[in-house]
Amino acid sequence: MKRHPRPGLALGASALGAGFLLLMAPATEAAKTPVYAITKARVLTATGAVIENATVVLSDGLVMDVGPNAAIPRDARVFDGSGLTITPGLIDAFSGAGMPAPRSSGGGPGAGGPAASPAPDPIAPTSNIYELLKASEALKARDSGVTTIVPIPREGLVHGAAAVMNLAGDQPESMVVKANIALAASMATLRQRYPGSLMGVVAFFRQALIDGSFHHAEVAAYEKAPSGRKRPAFDPGLDVWAQVASGTLPLMLQTPRIGDLRRAFALADEFKIKLVLAGNTQAFEEIALLKERKPALLVSVNYDPPRVGGFFGGSDDDKTRAEIEKAEKNPAALEEEGVRFALVSGFATDFLAGIRKAIEKGLPREAALRAVTLTPAEILGVADRMGSLEKGKIANVVVWSGEPFAKESKVKMVFVDGELYEPEEKPAGPPGGGGATPPGEERGDSARRTGEVK
Amino acid sequence: MEVLNLKHASFAFAALALLAAPRDAAAQDTVTAITNAKIMTVGPAGNIENGTILIQDGKITAVGAEVAAPAGATVIDASGRVVTPGLIDAHSHTAVEDGVNECTHIVTAEVRVTDALDPRDISIYRQLAGGVTAANVLHGSCNSIGGQNATIKMRWGAPSGDTLLFQGAPPGIKFALGENPKRSSFRGTTPRYPATRMGVEVSIRNAFLEAKAYKKEWDDYEAAAKAASMVKKGVRSATPPTLPRAPRKNLQMEALKEILEGKRLVHAHSYRADEILMLINVADEMGFKIATFQHVLEGYKVATEIAKHGAGASTFSDWWAYKMEAYDAIPYNAAIMAGHGVVVSVNSDSDELARRLYWEAAKTVRYGGVSEDEAFKMVTINPARQLRIDKWVGSIEVGKDADLAIFKSHPFAPDTRVEMTLVDGKVMFDRSKDVAARTGVAATLGGGQ
- Express each pLDDT in A154-204 by its tens digit: 999 999 999 999 999 999 999 999 999 999 999 999 977 899 999 999 999
Task: Search chain B and give the residue with CA nearest A266.
Answer: B8
| Interface mutation target, options B115, B243, B349, chain A, most CBs of A under 10 Å | B115
Residues of B in contact with A202 (CB under 8 A): 111-112, 115-116
pLDDT tens digits, B229-283: 887 777 766 665 567 889 999 999 999 999 999 999 999 999 999 999 999 999 9
Residue B7 and residue A269: Cβ atoms within 8 Å? Answer: yes
Alpha helices in B287-318 (DSSP H): 303-309
Distance between CA atoms of residues A292 and B69, nearest Å: 42
pLDDT of residue B276: 98
CB proximity list for A161: less than 8 A, separation 6 or greater: A127, A128, A129, A179, A180, A181, A182, A183, A184, A240
B217 touches chain A (CB under 8 A): no
- Say if CB B401 and CB B412 are below 8 A apart: no
Distance between CA atoms of residues A254 and A261, nearest Å: 10
Would you call B181 helix, strand, or coil by DSSP? Answer: coil
Task: Search chain A and give the residue with CA nearest B249.
Answer: A210
pLDDT of residue A351: 97
* Distance in Å, alpha carbon of B395 to nearest chain A alpha carbon: 32
**Torsions phi, psi for A160 (to 5 deg):** 120, -165
User: pLDDT tens string for chain B (449 positions)?
Assistant: 233 333 333 333 333 333 434 444 444 558 999 999 999 999 999 999 999 999 999 999 999 999 999 999 999 999 999 999 999 999 999 999 999 999 999 999 999 999 999 999 999 999 999 999 999 999 999 999 999 999 999 999 888 889 999 999 999 999 999 999 998 777 766 678 899 999 999 999 999 999 999 999 999 999 999 888 887 777 766 665 567 889 999 999 999 999 999 999 999 999 999 999 999 999 999 999 999 999 999 999 999 999 999 999 999 999 999 999 999 999 999 999 999 999 999 999 999 999 999 999 999 999 999 999 999 999 999 999 999 999 999 999 999 999 999 999 999 999 999 999 999 999 999 999 999 999 877 776 654 33
| Interface mutation target, options A186, A197, A229, chain B, most CBs of B under 10 Å | A197
Segment-wise mean pLDDT, segments of 10 residues, chain A, 454 residues:
38 39 44 88 96 97 96 96 98 97 55 53 96 97 98 96 97 97 96 92 98 95 93 96 96 95 96 95 95 97 72 60 93 98 96 98 98 98 98 98 96 97 71 37 34 34
Put the strands of the sheet holding B172-176 in their side by side order.
Answer: B145-148, B172-176, B265-270, B292-295, B312-315, B344-346
Would you call B392 helix, strand, or coil by DSSP? Answer: coil
pTM of the predicted model as reported, rounded to 2 decimal places: 0.88
The DSSP output letter for B269 is E
Q: Nearest 5°: CA angle at A379, between A203 and A256?
A: 40
pLDDT tens digits, B423-434: 999 999 999 999
* Distance in Å, alpha carbon of B101 to nearest chain A alpha carbon: 7
**Torsions phi, psi for A16 (to 5 deg):** -70, 135
For the CA atoms of A40, A46, A50, A56, the dihedral, rounded to the nearest 10 degrees, stands at: -20
Residues of A in contact with B9 (CB under 8 A): none
pLDDT of residue B233: 76
Residues of A with CB under 8 A from a CB of B: 109, 189-190, 192-200, 202-203, 206-207, 210-211, 214, 217-218, 221, 257-259, 262-263, 266, 269-270, 289, 308, 310-312
Q: Nearest 5°: CA angle at A244, between A239 and A245?
A: 95
Quote the percentage of chain A above a pLDDT of 90: 75
pLDDT of residue B7: 35
Distance between CA atoms of residues A54 and A43, nearest Å: 7
pLDDT of residue B112: 98
Task: Search chain B and give the residue with CA nearest A202.
Answer: B115
pLDDT of residue A247: 94
| Interface mutation target, options B8, B19, B98, chain A, most CBs of A under 10 Å | B98
pLDDT of residue A27: 44
